[in-house]
Homo-oligomer: A and B are copies of this chain.
Amino acid sequence: MTTDARPIGVFDSGIGGLTVLRELVARFPNENFVYLGDTARLPYGSKSAPTVRKYSEQNMKFLVSKNVKAIVVACNTASTQVAETSFEGRPVYNVIDPGSLLATQKTKNKNIAVLATRATIKANTYENKIKSLLPSSSVFSVPCPLFVSLAEEGWHNDPITDQVASRYLSELKDKNIDTVVLGCTHYPLLKSSIQKNFSSGTTLIDSGEAIAQIMSDDFKSGTIAANTGVANSDLLIYLTDTGPQFESLAVKLLSDYTTKKIKFETVAVI
């Protein structure tokens, strides 16, 4: 059996991608991971398509230089600008395809909401993808720009976040939504505030869970070779800017999901 101990490379503009990383680390304990947080240039959600494309390419090149065996684009805004399924010989996983697929599998009444940054909504990638998988579905897209700042401020279960969510999501009240795509990797951190605006049977789709499901299938089919050996005990997080606040939040977000020792290194990505 082929074994491949090279790490899986995951990138995002900041902390959001850690909600993807934590699902992958928990689901694939034998694998090695490296994470790149482009904190010097965050956030991506308010930037134009060509700028996001340029940054994403630079990030993928950086991960290739770290000898990864696969690349995970753990940022929805970046995923709208990364259409390719491989980059310099490595398979590329974006977060939009798995989230869209899972949403179309979970919905019963075909009324699907997509919550995301302004840039992601504007790119229309979710709506197009969901419609191509389930043409009879209705997709309601809502930009929620303040959610990223609230998640980064750590106001994860908070009356102010509840009110912001209620304001953004009020337009969905009469839409009989049964499936909600959390179309920004920060948003799982605000799940409790978001859930309050939907009936209890509504499914929230977390990109991290969706991508872990697809990768699991690809390990089984041999599309990517698993590491059959023991994984490293370190989890290396590269940051393009130093930030004690990021580091403490990262440790907090990952600690329930892995026993690996988390190490940080500041790097230049251009």
Chain A residues packing against B (C-beta within 8 Å): 39-42, 46-48, 51, 118, 145-146, 148-150, 152-153, 159-160, 163-164, 167, 241-243, 245
Contact = CB atoms under 8 A, between A and B. Distances in A.
Contacts of A48: 40, 241-243
B51 A241 contact: yes
Contacts of A243: 46, 48
28 contacts: A39-B46, A39-B47, A40-B41, A40-B47, A40-B48, A40-B51, A41-B41, A42-B46, A46-B243, A46-B245, A47-B241, A48-B242, A51-B241, A118-B245, A145-B149, A145-B152, A145-B153, A146-B146, A146-B149, A146-B150, A146-B153, A148-B149, A149-B149, A159-B163, A160-B160, A160-B163, A160-B164, A163-B163
A150 B146 CA distance: 7
Contacts of A164: 160
A160 B167 contact: yes
A245 B42 CA distance: 18
Given A39-B46, A39-B47, 16 more contacts: A40-B41, A42-B46, A46-B243, A47-B241, A48-B242, A48-B243, A51-B241, A118-B245, A145-B149, A146-B146, A146-B149, A146-B153, A159-B163, A160-B160, A160-B163, A160-B167
Contacts of A47: 39-40, 241
Please list the 7 inter-chain residue pairs (A to B) with the smallest Cβ-Cβ separation, ordered nearest first: A149-B149, A48-B242, A48-B241, A51-B241, A40-B51, A47-B241, A146-B149
